[in-house]
C-alpha cells in the first residue's frame, strides 16, 4: 500500500465514513450552529433597537429639560414683574412700608423660583436616573464575563452620571 495511491477498499471506507460524518453533522451539528448564529443575530438586532429607543428617550428628556428651563425663566420674569408692581403701589401710599413689603415679596419670589427650579431639576434627575437604570439593565444583560469589564462599566456609568449632574447645576 502506497501513501500516494491508496487501495480501492481504503477509498471506499474513507468515502463511507466521510458520508456518515457529513450526515451526522448535517442532522445534528449544522442546525445547532445556524440556530446559535440566528439567536445571536436577533440579540444584536434587539440591542440596536433598544439603543435607538434609549437615544430617542434621551432626546425627549433634553427637549423636556429645555422647556422646563424656559418655563422657569418665564415664571421668574413674571414673578419679578409682579413683585415690582406691588412694590411701586406700596411706595405711592407709604414709602417706608412699601420698601419693606417689596423686599419681602422679592425674597419670597426668589425663594419660590429657587424651590421650583430645584423641584424641576430633581424631577429631571429622577427621570434621567430611571432611564439610565433601564439602559444600564439592557447593557448589563449583555454577556459580561470578566469582573474587569463589569467594574469598567460601573466606573464609566458613575462618571457619566457625575458629568450629567454637573451640567445640570
- How high is the pLDDT of residue 165? 77
Contact predicate 138/54, CB 8 Å: yes
User: What is residue 154's three-state secondary structure?
Assistant: helix
Q: 120: pLDDT confidence band, cut at 50, 70 and 90? A: confident
- d(C-alpha 31, C-alpha 29), whole Å: 6
Tell me which residue of 87, 80, 133, 81 sits closest to 111, measured CA to CA: 80
- The three-state (H, E, C) secondary structure of 51-118, written as one string: HHHHHHHHHHHHHHHHHHHHHHHHHHHHHHHHHHHHHHHHHHHCHHHHHHHHHHHHHHHHHHHHHHHH
Cell readout for 163 is: 458629568
Q: pLDDT tens digits for 125-160?
A: 888 777 777 776 666 666 555 677 777 777 887 888
* pLDDT per residue as tens digits for the range 34-66: 999 999 999 999 999 999 999 999 999 999 999
Helix/strand/coil for 161:
helix
Task: Determine contact, residues 107/116, Cβ cutoff 8 Å.
Answer: no
Cβ atoms of residues 113 and 68 within 8 Å:
no
Instruction: Yes or no: say if 117 and 72 are a contact pair by the CB < 8 Å rule.
Output: yes
- Grid cell digits, residue 30: 449544522
Cα–Cα distance, 112 to 128 (Å, whole number): 24
Is the pLDDT score of 93 beyond 80?
no
61 within 8 A of 127, measured Cβ to Cβ: yes
pTM to 2 decimal places = 0.34
Amino acid at each position: 500500500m502506497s501513501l500516494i495511491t491508496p487501495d480501492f477498499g481504503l477509498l471506499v471506507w474513507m468515502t463511507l465514513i466521510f458520508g456518515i460524518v457529513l450526515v451526522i453533522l448535517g442532522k445534528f451539528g449544522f442546525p445547532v450552529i445556524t440556530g446559535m448564529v440566528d439567536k445571536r443575530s436577533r440579540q444584536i438586532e434587539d440591542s440596536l433597537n433598544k439603543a435607538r429607543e434609549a437615544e430617542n428617550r434621551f432626546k425627549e428628556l433634553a427637549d423636556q429639560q429645555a422647556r422646563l428651563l424656559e418655563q422657569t425663566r418665564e415664571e421668574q420674569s413674571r414673578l419679578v414683574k409682579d413683585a415690582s408692581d406691588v412694590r411701586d403701589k406700596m411706595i405711592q401710599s407709604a414709602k417706608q412700608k412699601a420698601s419693606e413689603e417689596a423686599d419681602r415679596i422679592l425674597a419670597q419670589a426668589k425663594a419660590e423660583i429657587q424651590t421650583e427650579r430645584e423641584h424641576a431639576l430633581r424631577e429631571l434627575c429622577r427621570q434621567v436616573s430611571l432611564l439610565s437604570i433601564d439602559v444600564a439593565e439592557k447593557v448589563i444583560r449583555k454577556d459580561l464575563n470578566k469582573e474587569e469589564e463589569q467594574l469598567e462599566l460601573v466606573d464609566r456609568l458613575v462618571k457619566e452620571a457625575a458629568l450629567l449632574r454637573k451640567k445640570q447645576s
